[in-house]
Structure formats: C-alpha cells, structure tokens
C-alpha cells in the first residue's frame, strides 16, 4: 500500500536520506528509530556495508515482518531489530554513528523528548536525520495533493489493505504535525546544530538533518 500510495517514491526518498548522511567518522551502529518493517534499515545496510544497523520499533508485529525481510536477504548479522521506545532509547550516550527515522516523528507522543534522545545517543559530530511526510505549499499542486491525500488515499487503504481507518489517520496526522520550519526549530531546540531541510516531491516529503 505504501508503494502504491507514493508510486514507489517512498523508496527513492529513503535512498536520498541515506545518501545525505555523508561520511560517518565514528564507530558504532546506525540506529533506525521507528524502523517498522525495516525498509530504511535494509537500504542502509546495502549502502553502508561496513556499518551495523540497529532498528528499533514498539510493534512486535512489524518487527516480525522486518525480521523475515532481513532473513530473506541474508542480513541477520548486519541488521538487529529490537523492540523499544523512541522516548527512552536503549542505547548508551554517544554510542551510535548516526540516528535516523522515516515517517516516525509525527507518531510519537512527546516530540521534544524523542529528539533529545536521538541527540543523546549519537556520537559528537554525528548526524540525526528525519524523513517525514509534509504538506506541500506549491500553488496549483497543494489542493490537488490535499484532495488525493485526504480522499483517495483512505479509499485505496480500504480497498488494498483493508485499513481505511489507518489511511485516514495518515493524512490527519500529517496535517496536525509541525511544518518543516517548525520541525527544524524543534531539532535545534533539542541541541542539534546546522539543521538542514531538504524538500522532496514539491514538498510532499521532507528530510531534516542536524548534527550533535
């Protein structure tokens, strides 16, 4: 459903996010917060063959799907998927080479705490990167996107995934979430430096990256 909803663009967005991490100067794993079924973790493992990947998620059902995907690709020694809470990351301070998340932050109940935790566990100078859906602000495109996202996506969710409620929550959660400018400010307030904002697909998705 996610592939269908974005016409496959969500994979391209994840690959762009991984490329934006740049060189990682310190040891330790890359931590994927809200890894879900491990889509981002798998892309990270292919792009960074010299780095271990740890994926964290509160849902045992999603982690079970992710573990099957990891096993099919023979990456069990490179990717560890763990159950855990974004508000209390089970990692020592300054232990991760990078911390990433994809489509996660708008679902946490305490965004400032989640961002502080991400900063806490990354090494000094290491990147914290967040990929999120966002509201386009492009004349002509914005109303078309809103119509598609709020009307058609829930219908597709019901037909394809049998989950109309989940795909009604999706556009509502994006609309209620911080704007890209507000999220960049929240990251800075959490202690991250040099926060960059990269808009994708005319602003339908946004990558934020800052450094400890």
Domain range list for the chain:
2-134+178-211, 136-176
Q: With respect to CATH, is domain 2-134+178-211 assigned 3.40.50.150?
A: yes
- Cα(82)–Cα(60) distance, integer angstroms: 9
pLDDT value of position 9: 86
pLDDT value of position 84: 97
**Helix (H) / strand (E) containing 3:** helix 2-5
Which two three-digit tokens encode residue 136?
A: 């386009």
Residues 6+ away with beta carbon under 8 Å from 110:
87
Query: Considering only CA atoms, which of 160, 130, 164, 139 is closest in space to residue 150?
Result: 164
**Helix (H) / strand (E) containing 174:** helix 164-176
Residues 6+ away with beta carbon under 8 Å from 121:
31, 89, 91, 92, 93, 94, 95, 96, 99
pLDDT value of position 38: 98
Cα–Cα–Cα angle for 98, 79, 116, nearest 5°?
30
Residues 6+ away with beta carbon under 8 Å from 76:
70
Q: Where are the beta strands (DSSP E) in the chain?
A: 30-33, 53-57, 79-83, 98-102, 127-133, 193-200, 205-211
Per-residue pLDDT of the chain (212 residues; tens, 9 = 90+): 677 777 778 999 999 999 999 999 878 999 999 999 999 999 999 999 999 999 999 999 999 999 999 999 999 999 999 999 999 999 999 999 999 999 999 999 999 999 999 999 999 999 999 999 998 888 778 887 777 778 777 787 777 777 778 778 778 888 899 999 999 999 999 999 999 999 999 999 999 999 99
pLDDT value of position 160: 74
Give the global pTM: 0.91
Phi/psi for 74 (5° steps) reads 65, 35
- Please spell the DSSP secondary structure of 68-97, one letter per residue: HHHHHTT-TTTEEEEE-BTTB-SS-TT-BS
Q: What is the pLDDT of residues 86-108, one digit of tens each?
A: 999 999 999 999 999 999 999 99
CB atoms within 10 A of CB 71: 11
- Cα(60)–Cα(195) distance, integer angstroms: 32
CA-to-CA dists, residue 151 to 4, 147, 180, 205, angstroms: 15, 6, 23, 18
Kind of pairing between the strands at 205-211 and 193-200: antiparallel
């Amino acid at each position: 459903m996610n592939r269908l909803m974005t016409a496959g663009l969500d994979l391209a967005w994840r690959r762009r996010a991984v490329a934006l991490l740049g060189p990682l100067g310190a040891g330790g794993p890359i931590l994927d917060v809200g890894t879900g079924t491990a889509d981002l973790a798998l892309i990270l493992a292919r792009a960074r063959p010299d780095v271990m990947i740890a994926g964290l998620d509160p849902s045992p059902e999603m982690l079970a799907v992710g573990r099957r995907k990891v096993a099919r690709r023979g990456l069990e020694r490179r990717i560890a998927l763990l159950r855990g809470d974004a508000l209390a990351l089970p990692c020592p301070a300054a232990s991760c080479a990078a911390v990433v998340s994809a489509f996660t932050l708008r679902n946490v109940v305490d965004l400032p705490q989640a961002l502080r935790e991400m900063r806490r566990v990354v090494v000094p100078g290491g990147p914290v990167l967040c990929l999120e859906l966002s509201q386009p602000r492009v004349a002509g495109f914005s109303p078309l996107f809103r119509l598609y996202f709020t009307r058609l996506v829930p219908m597709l969710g019901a037909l394809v995934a049998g989950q109309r409620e989940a795909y009604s929550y999706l556009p509502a959660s994006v609309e209620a979430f911080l704007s890209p400018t507000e999220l960049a400010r929240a990251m800075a307030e959490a202690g991250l430096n040099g926060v960059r904002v990269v808009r994708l697909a005319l602003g339908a998705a946004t990558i934020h990256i800052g450094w400890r």
